[in-house]
Amino acid sequence: MIPQSSSPQKGGFRTMPFIIVNESFEKVVGYGLMPNMIFYLMSGYHIATANGATILALWSATSNAMAIVGAFLSDSYIGRFWAILLGSFSSLLGTVLLWLTAMIPQLKPPLCTQLSSNCESATPAQLFVLLSSFVLMSIGAGCIRPCSMAFGADQLDKEGNPSNERLIQSFFNWYYASIGVSTIIALTLIIYIQDQFGWKVGFGVPAILMVVSTLMFLMGSNLYIKAKAEKSLFTGFIQVIVAALRKRNLDIPDNNLEYYQGQDTDNYITPTDKLRCLNKACIIENSGKDLKPDGTASNPWKLCSIDQVESLKALLRVIPIWSTGIIVIVSLEQNSFTALQAKTMDRHITAHFQIPAGSFTVFATVTLTIWVAIYDRVIVPNIKKFTGNPGGLSPEIRMGSGLILSAVAMAVSAIVESIRRKTAIDEGLVDEPSGVIDMSAMWLIPQYCLLGLAEALNAIGQIEFYYSQLPKSMSSIAIALYTLGMAAANLFDAVLVKIVDGVTELGGKDSWLSNNVNKGHLDYYYWLISILCLISFGWFLVCCWSYGASKDRRKVPTKIRLERKEDASPLI
């Protein structure tokens, strides 16, 4: 993307409050609604536990999948500023519609005893209104989340200034920390309001926050560096694939002059050896037919530039490593089940105050925020002289460490649940899922702390890795890859829940994911996820070996970068 203006009056740190507040409030709304939503679906719409968990997983998947759409939209058509503004209005409409489902009785089925046999199901129209609010919020999240961080980086990243590398890395750390703080607010204040004042107030507050979020972002409009969108990246990728397929029978030439360099022909460059089959897309078969008099391609669906080919290669090459982070996010997405566990445990801190069941996720976020602060201010300055990496530990090491910690966290979750379930059985509360056992819910805190540390290592490591390996014109897409991974994880989680629920209830047995958590076996389910985390770590090692040594595409000029031979490693 090409900045419209590099004037010192535009951009800089003074734009950060407007950008960060916008996404922070969107996160407060999104994360504040999710934990208690399972109770709203069960009590308000009479939806069973497993079905409710599946709906919420699909909602999260849609929100995160929309990130790749928002990224392409911003990078290729309307720019990041307009994408964020569009997302803000969409989220605002979604939260208002959800609030209306709580305010207008006709938008929900009649009240009854939760999950009793005579409960009236929601009508298609009622479900349509509810799901429409979810879709609108998903569109908003898809436009805001991938673009906001990249838009913030645009305000700080001045071309030709090498000192910006550390500045951008620090920005990512602290940006993630600010999102962590907003998540803490969501998991404490918003959930507390929902528990104490009901759904009408609990959904009304997020709607007001989205009004403030939208207005705050608009207030900084005159201060932003607004980058224009380039031609459609998505179309360019499709053109490379089509052109390569058309020329699949051609041999790879050794002469640089046989490759289409694009409009800049001052320096002849050679495409890299990775994914060499795509190099055929930039082979010039007949210069008289393939090129116009001004040197541009006469048919972009038959001839593509080397930069087009290399951009697609960069994206395809990070996909295997991207896939390894899916299971980490799955381990983080078990909030519906842990909320049901916490509801059966003693959540009192004092005689008159108890932690809401949906708020225990806050301990993961607190751990994440503390780690980011310590890592950025203490660990990085002391370790970078030994690692030679300005960011301290390499992104690959942090991603791998996060995978291991997620496996440990799920193992701890399984152990704690087995103790909780045994306590419920010993106290004769098997048939009373609403009964509170004599076991403190504080036993859930260690697993959340481990999950928070796993997310801090793996998530930020992923974002930095994608941002460094993809061209600057794909900044939003680089960041959207992580949220796309969240979408894939949500879909995988939804499928896993349905499979486990269906298989384990065969023969008339109680499902592991039974509505009555005392009769179910959540501990077995957690062990299954822990094993999947270990398998994913093994796949991660294979992917890192196959990828080879990574080079920061933003530090090395394009022409020089493409002329260098990459380290020898297997082709992927």
> Residue ranges per domain, the chain?
2-229+325-563, 233-310
Contacts of 544 (CB under 8 A, 6+ apart): 321, 396, 400
Residue type for position 393 = L
Query: How much is the pLDDT for 537?
Result: 94
CA separation for the pair 134, 127 (Å, rounded): 11
Query: How much is the pLDDT for 7?
Result: 46
Q: What is the CA radius of gyration of the chain?
A: 25
- For residue 230, the SS3 value is coil
Query: How much is the pLDDT for 8?
Result: 52
What tokens were used for 33?
A: 């609604």
Query: How much is the pLDDT for 415?
Result: 94
CA separation for the pair 553, 556 (Å, rounded): 6
Q: At what angle do helices 16-44 and 124-156 cross, to 10 degrees?
A: 160
Query: How much is the pLDDT for 43?
Result: 81
Residue type for position 297 = A
- Which residues make beta-bridge pairs with 259? 283
- Taking only the tens place, the pLDDT of each residue in 454-463 is 988 888 888 8
Q: Is the pTM of this model over 0.85?
A: no
Q: Are 164 and 155 in contact (CB under 8 A)?
A: no
Residue type for position 60 = S
- For residue 197, the SS3 value is helix
CATH superfamily of domain region 2-229+325-563: MFS general substrate transporter like domains (1.20.1250.20)
Residue of 156, 147, 190 lying closest to 22 (CA atoms): 147
Query: How much is the pLDDT for 551?
Result: 64
Which stretches of the chain drop beneath a pLDDT of 50? 1-7, 115, 159-162, 555-572
What tokens were used for 361?
A: 């996720």
Which of 66-104 are b and which e, b meaning 16 or more Cβ less than 10 Å from the residue's Cβ? bbbbbbbbbbbebbbbbbbbbbbebbbbbbbbbbebbee
